[in-house]
Structure formats: structure tokens, C-alpha cells
Amino acid sequence: MTTIRKAVFPVAGLGTRFLPATKAVAKEMLTIVDKPLIQYAAEEAEKAGIDTLIFVLGRTKNSIIDHFDKAYELESELALRNKTELLKIVKDTVPEGVNCVFIRQSEALGLGHAVLCAEAVVGNEPFVVILPDDLIDSEGDNCTQQMMDVYDEYGCSVIGTQTINISESNHYGMVAGPIIRDGLSRVDEIIEKPLPAEAPSDQAIVGRYILTPAIFEVLKTTERGAGGEIQLTDGIAELRKREEVYAYSFVGKRYDCGSKIGYLKATVEYALKHNDLADEFRQYLRQVSV
Ligand code: G1P
């Protein structure tokens, strides 16, 4: 049995790529069909057995706190009207036995800093980090579960990766190292957003990490890196000098919902899988397809 119970969701980014939609609404509250991105991320964690969701929030992210709060008026109204299915949907936002903790990241100093903000709540335990912008659809076990299985076997930090076109390396943390087994390698090199000529391989980090608590000590002394921010990637570069870190090429399809095109692709594909919508939407797409 895995001992990982806590997941950290860094949700401090400004979401400038979606302005004006994200002027007053957190980008993690943008919906794919009928659920906000942050809820997909929370459900992935819950399905993998996480019982403590830790949100590290920037200003203007209060809608995330509201989303995971109990909605008394709505619930009593739905109960009065006997809308049992809707009531269940509302209540299931945070299932029984799951706790939410909200931490303010008062300065937007980067992903590494956001993770460090969770130290007091995570304590001396391994934990998961999920970036909700990266929506991952897996047929079998979800990405977090797959990575937990790797952690259970090897007991070291695990980073989720996928193969990308190397021309896009400047958008990702990039890793390289010797292969341990199919889909799993050791991280010997790791660098944040290198130019293609400097990328160590075509293996890019996606927004899933399992980290040992040793990362916190490292992040305390990590200096500002790419984009002037305290980068988690730089922290992991230091961590791997102290203990092994593995890169795991997960099974599943990742949508970059931090970009408009990735967001649109996810919307279309999730709608095509949606119980109530799939048939009508498929028909509609046939009509409009060019
Ligand atoms: C972050 C990480 C980067 C990773 C990416 C995955 O970058 O810093 O290493 O490859 O997420 O989505 P961001 O997209 O927040 O700039």
C-alpha cells in the first residue's frame, strides 16, 4: 500500500493566455464540457487514494476555494426540489473523507516557490504535485496512480514525462538519463525550458510529480532561474544529486489546457466521450467539419 496521501495543486498562475476570460476567473476554473480543470485534477488525485488536497493559490483565485466549499443554499434548494442527481454532483465535488487545505502564495515567485509554500502542510512525507493545466486522459489507471505504482516499487521521486517535438523544448522542463525499464529512466540531466539546441533529449516534463520531502530543503536555496522564477525543475536538478529521481513516460493522452488549442482539443474530445452529449455532438461535428 502506498503511503502517499497528499497532493499539491499549484494554482497561482495568471492565465494571461486566456485573457479576458481569466480577468476575474481563475484559469483552473475554465471548464472542459461541464467540469472545471481543477476538478479533473482533484478527481485524478482522489481516484489514486489521495485524501488531502492542498491548493497553493495566488490572489484572484477565490473561486477555487468556493468551488470546493460546501454550497449550503444550493444544496438545500436542490434537496427541496428533489433534484437528487444534481445534489449528488454538487456534493461529490469533495467526496467524503477528503480534506481541502488552501494556502496563499503571497508573491508569484514561481512553481518551485509554490511547492515550498506547501511544506508545513505536507510535512515529512512523499507527495504528489499536479498542474491542472495538464489534463491527462488515461484508459486504465490514471497518470497519478501509474506514478504512485512506480514510487511504490522504487521509493524515489518520479516525474511524469512525454515525448515532444524537440523544436518545442523551450516550453518545457526537459530530462535525459539511462533507461531503467520500458517507460522508466533515471534523471541524470534536467533543465527548464532549454532552446532545442541545448535540450538533452526529446523527453519533456508534464505536470505530474511525486516528490520526496527532501525537495523542500533543496527549494529553500534554489535561486531564480528561467523567467526570473524559482523553478521546480531547478530544485529537482539539485535533488537528483542527493537521491535518485526517475522519469516515467505515462500511458495516456495529455492536453495542454494552458494553451487555447490544447483547451479546444480537450473540449472536443471530452464532449465526444460525454454520456449525454456524444451522439448529438458527433453529428454536429460531421455537419461543420471542413
Ligand atoms: C511547468 C514546468 C515545466 C513543465 C510544464 C508542464 O511550466 O515548469 O518544467 O514542463 O509545467 O506543463 P509552465 O507550463 O508552468 O511554464
Ligand 1 centre to CA of 51 (Å) is 25
Residue 265: predicted pLDDT: 98
Of 6, 61, 52, nearest to 216 (Cα)? 6
Residue 141: predicted pLDDT: 97
Residue 53: predicted pLDDT: 98
Q: Are strands 203-211 and 173-176 parallel, antiparallel or unpaired?
A: antiparallel
Give the DSSP H/E element, type plus range, for residue 52.
Answer: strand 52-57
Residue 71: predicted pLDDT: 87
* 213's grid cell: 520531502
Question: What's the angle, vertex CA 48, arms to CA 169 and CA 69, rounded to 5?
Answer: 95
Ligand 1 centre to CA of 206 (Å) is 7
* 23's grid cell: 480577468
What CA–CA distance (Å, rounded) separates 12 from 177? Answer: 31
Ligand 1 centre to CA of 74 (Å) is 36
Protein residue with least CA distance to atom 9, ligand 1: 173
Ligand 1 centre to CA of 153 (Å) is 26
Q: What is the mean pLDDT of each run of 10 residues along the chain (290 residues)?
A: 87 87 91 97 97 92 91 92 93 92 92 97 97 95 97 97 97 97 97 97 98 97 94 98 97 96 97 95 89
Domains and CATH numbers, the chain: 6-288 (3.90.550.10)
What CA–CA distance (Å, rounded) separates 224 from 68? Answer: 32
Q: Ligand 1: which atom is nearest the Cα of residue 111? A: 8
Residue 290: predicted pLDDT: 67
* 206's grid cell: 508534464
Q: Which residues line ligand 1 (CB under 6 A)?
A: 111, 131, 134, 172-173, 192, 204-207, 231-233, 258
Residue 2: predicted pLDDT: 54
* 59's grid cell: 490572489
Query: Which burial class, exposed, middle or buried, applies to 59 when counting CB atoms under 10 A from its CB (0-12, 13-18, 19+)?
Result: exposed
Residue 60: predicted pLDDT: 79
Question: What's the angle, vertex CA 279, arms to CA 276 and CA 280, rounded to 5?
Answer: 85
Distance of CA 132 to the CA centre of its chain: 4
Residues 9-48 as b/e (b if ≥16 CB within 10 A, e otherwise) read bbbbbebeebeeebeebbbbbbebbeebbbbbbbebbbeb
Ligand 1 centre to CA of 159 (Å) is 12
Q: Ligand 1: which atom is nearest the Cα of residue 193? A: 9
What CA–CA distance (Å, rounded) separates 100 from 122? Answer: 12
Q: Are strands 203-211 and 157-163 parallel, antiparallel or unpaired?
A: antiparallel
Evaluate whether 31 touches 66 at the Cβ level (below 8 Å).
no
